[in-house]
Structure 1
Amino acid sequence: MARSLSRSRAARVALTSTVALAAGLTLAACGSDEPAPGGAETGASEAPASGTVTIVAHDSFSLADGQLDEFTARTGIQVEVVQPGDAGTLVNQLVLTKDAPLGDLAFGIDNTFASRVVDEGVVVPYSSAVPAAADAAQHAFGDGNELTAIDYGDVCLNVDHAWFDEHGVAEPVTLDDLTEPEYKDLLVVPNAVTSSPGFAFLLTTIAAQGDGWQDYWSALKDNGLKVAEGWSDAYFTDFSGGGGGGPRPIVLSYASSPPYTVPEGGTEPTTGALLDTCFRQVEYAGVLAHAKNPRGAQELLDFLLSDEVQEQIPTTMYMYPVSTTVDLPADWAQWAPLAEQPYEVDPVEVAENRAQWLEDWSETVIG
């Protein structure tokens, strides 16, 4: 049986409401009802945190077994996890509940949504003092410190090598290849409106095609494009290489996905990422405004930057850790390299045009 890409990465569809991540974790009463301070500019407060801290995360948030138990043993703080859906759903919920938040700390806000969260006043400034914070600063959003980078990776098209070998078709390489007749009915991508990687791919096409991006999507649609509701549906159901036996051998996923398709006893993955189609995604954590336990949120954010969590991120969340001092899995260097020149769109431009781009995309692709 192949080592499958864990369904915890299927965080790009709405699944869970409130989940205790560590099995058997007993949840204690919430902390103080006082709102979060206007801006904690240094490390976690000297006053000890207590009670329960609630992290509101997209539904691919996952730590290694026992790590939250270790956090509780170390700090005395119990952890509750609330997962309203994928990153897009997460951000919508954070904005809608910003005056009475669902928790204390947010995780999974990526660089395609960061401007909205900051502009809406969802999070308050916090500067972690742990060593990896310096590495996180290399991925900082804007000029403030409302958000702290935790991990990053490339959203790229993936192909099923076995399908192309079996059918005698050359694998695509570039975005433009996907409009060619030999790739008709082969591509599936998540919905740009409901999916974070889906929106990242929309930004990829905007960066690559400029003013002609809508024409490009029209060409994809004419060539049999399928749009799935979220990443999970696209990868596990529609993609032929995702373990579900789907009919489409080209899917939008991550540069880090292929190592998890190495068959048991095999030496190489059955899938690969097209590194000329990538968008660099950064995921952030932030202390929520009006949090009931802001000190606990700060301590949990520090924990996400700790060596023990950072070194497990490749195997728990399939992203690159921001820390430059922890070791990556051996097979990542060979099978999960980052793109040398990923596509980028200025976050200010994203903030100014997001609504119009999504409206235009929906009109062009969904109809």
Structure 2
Amino acid sequence: MTHDSFSVSEAVIAEFERTTGARVEILPSGDTGSALNKAILSKDAPLADVFFGVDNTFMSRALAAGIFEPYDSPAAAAMPADVRLDPTGRLHPVDVGYVMINYDRAALRDAGLTPPATLEELADPRWRGQLIVQNPATSSPGLAFLLTTIAHFGEDGAYTWRDYWRALRANDVLVTDGWEDAYYTHFSGSSGAGPRPLVVSYGTSPAAEVFFSEGALSEPPTANLDVPAFRQIEFVGILAGTPRRALAERFVDFMLGPSFQADIPLQMWVWPAAPGTPLPEVFTAFAARPARAVELPPERIEAERERWIGEWTSLVLR
């Protein structure tokens, strides 16, 4: 059971099926929040054996719901300590991604503009009407960018995240419901050829532009701003009550193992969690990890998410 953005090569799944004699059925269940809600509502009669896709913004909710069983995976022990966020051993890190601001290189060059070097600069009048963000109530990268601003500016003091969003609104920020509309319709640096040169997207988006051009591009038309960015970690866990516990353990180990981890970059366009996993050339050349990655404790996100989104909605959309 997973979210709709899950992707894996058929050959990788076939490897697991061949070595175990099992048949793998993947159950896409909407976005991360929707999939998790389905798993929680069906916990007395689980729809699957394994769930993938809980990230650090939903981790506390998932653990509090009691839908996962502990598993002392030997593969998880090899993961870096900073991505092993669940000390109870119920959720194990699979991949790491970064929500970053992409810019259209040609548009800024032609306008004689230097890319913004800070989040604060995005509220400067020279960037008026240039930035596209997503609604945090309906979009995962939108929520991640909101969390970035909360982590960076804080809730208290002379200038808070609320002040920042007031400034962005005054600077004609464009809010879309989802990433696809933002990136492919309104952003000038993609196939949508929209009018705005700055968009909240992913650290791997420039690499994806080159890869999916099928040889037409030797370098990306986009790049990432060197500003703070939110780190998303996705986890896998065994659903409580599975009648196939031993097989579920093997699948968790498989997802944390070399074949699955090496498949992650060009399937889901994030970094594998396992250290030392070889990366494709397009990743090493054009996918950027931020110099300043930010996070918030999962339990704080769970406790404050709805309030933050409500306040953001009042500040930006009303």
Question: Which residue matches 2:147?
Answer: 203
Return closer, same or farther for 1:91/1:247 CA change in 2, 3 Å cut-off.
farther
Return closer, same or farther for 1:159/1:114 CA change in 2, 3 Å cut-off.
same
Query: Residues 95 and 235 of structure 2 are in contact (CA less than 8 Å); yes or no, is this contact kept in structure 1?
Result: yes
TM-score when scaled to structure 2? 0.90
| Alpha-carbon separation, structure 2, partners of 1:101 and 1:137 | 30
SS at match of 2:223: strand
SS at match of 2:303: helix
Return closer, same or farther for 1:127/1:178 CA change in 2, 3 Å cut-off.
same
State how 1:113-128 maps to structure 2 within 5 Å: 113-128=58-73
Residues 1:238 and 2:186 aligned together = yes
Return closer, same or farther for 1:171/1:319 CA change in 2, 3 Å cut-off.
same
1:195-226 alpha-carbon deviations (Å, 9 max, x no partner): 22221111100011112111211221222222
Question: Which residue matches 1:35?
Answer: none
Query: Residues 116 and 351 of structure 1 are in contact (CA less than 8 Å); yes or no, is this contact kept in structure 2?
Result: yes
| Alpha-carbon separation, structure 1, partners of 2:20 and 2:312 | 47
Question: How much does 1:296 deviate?
Answer: 2.9
Over the aligned positions, Cα root-mean-square deviation in angstroms equals 2.0
1:341-363 alpha-carbon deviations (Å, 9 max, x no partner): 21221223222212211221222
Q: How many residues align?
A: 311
Query: Residues 230 and 293 of structure 2 are in contact (CA less than 8 Å); yes or no, is this contact kept in structure 1?
Result: yes
Identical pairs, percent: 40
| Alpha-carbon separation, structure 2, partners of 1:80 and 1:93 | 17
Residues 1:284 and 2:235 aligned together = yes
Task: Decide which moves more: 279-288 or 341-350.
Answer: 341-350
Return closer, same or farther for 1:179/1:296 CA change in 2, 3 Å cut-off.
same
1:80-120 alpha-carbon deviations (Å, 9 max, x no partner): 21222222322333333333333221111111111111011
Question: Which residue matches 2:11?
Answer: 66
Residues 1:146 and 2:94 aligned together = no
Pairing partner for 2:22 from 57, 77, 99 = 77
1:147-198 alpha-carbon deviations (Å, 9 max, x no partner): 0000102111111112222333332222111111222222222221222222
Question: Which residue matches 2:309?
Answer: 358
The structure carrying a bigger helix percent of its residues is 2
| Alpha-carbon separation, structure 2, partners of 1:267 and 1:177 | 30
1:323-349 alpha-carbon deviations (Å, 9 max, x no partner): 113211234334223123212212232
SS at match of 2:98: strand
| Alpha-carbon separation, structure 2, partners of 1:335 and 1:99 | 45
What letter matches 2:179 in structure 1?
Answer: W
SS at match of 1:327: coil
Question: Which residue matches 1:18?
Answer: none
Question: How much does 1:138 deviate?
Answer: 4.2
| Alpha-carbon separation, structure 2, partners of 1:340 and 1:107 | 28
Task: Decide which moves more: 77-86 or 326-335.
Answer: 326-335
Return closer, same or farther for 1:100/1:313 CA change in 2, 3 Å cut-off.
same
Question: Which residue matches 1:39?
Answer: none
What letter matches 2:144 in structure 1?
Answer: A
Question: Which residue matches 2:250?
Answer: 299
What letter matches 1:144 in structure 2?
Answer: T
| Alpha-carbon separation, structure 2, partners of 1:237 and 1:201 | 19
Query: Residues 153 and 319 of structure 1 are in contact (CA less than 8 Å); yes or no, is this contact kept in structure 2?
Result: yes
1:247-305 alpha-carbon deviations (Å, 9 max, x no partner): 22211111122112235354321111113131111110111123343333222211111
| Alpha-carbon separation, structure 2, partners of 1:288 and 1:158 | 37
State how 1:312-327 maps to structure 2 within 5 Å: 312-327=263-278
Question: Which residue matches 1:103?
Answer: 48
| Alpha-carbon separation, structure 2, partners of 1:366 and 1:83 | 31
Question: Which residue matches 1:260?
Answer: 208
SS at match of 1:118: helix
Moved over 4 A (4+): none
Residues 1:274 and 2:206 aligned together = no
Residues 1:182 and 2:126 aligned together = yes
Structure 2 residue runs of 5 or longer lacking an equivalent are none
Question: Which residue matches 1:31?
Answer: none
Residues 1:173 and 2:113 aligned together = no
State how 1:14-53 maps to structure 2 within 5 Å: none
TM-score when scaled to structure 1? 0.79
SS at match of 1:172: coil
Question: Which residue matches 2:171?
Answer: 223
Question: Which residue matches 2:78?
Answer: 134
Question: Which residue matches 2:105?
Answer: 161
Residues 1:250 and 2:194 aligned together = no
| Alpha-carbon separation, structure 2, partners of 1:103 and 1:227 | 36
SS at match of 1:312: helix
Query: Residues 262 and 272 of structure 2 are in contact (CA less than 8 Å); yes or no, is this contact kept in structure 1?
Result: yes
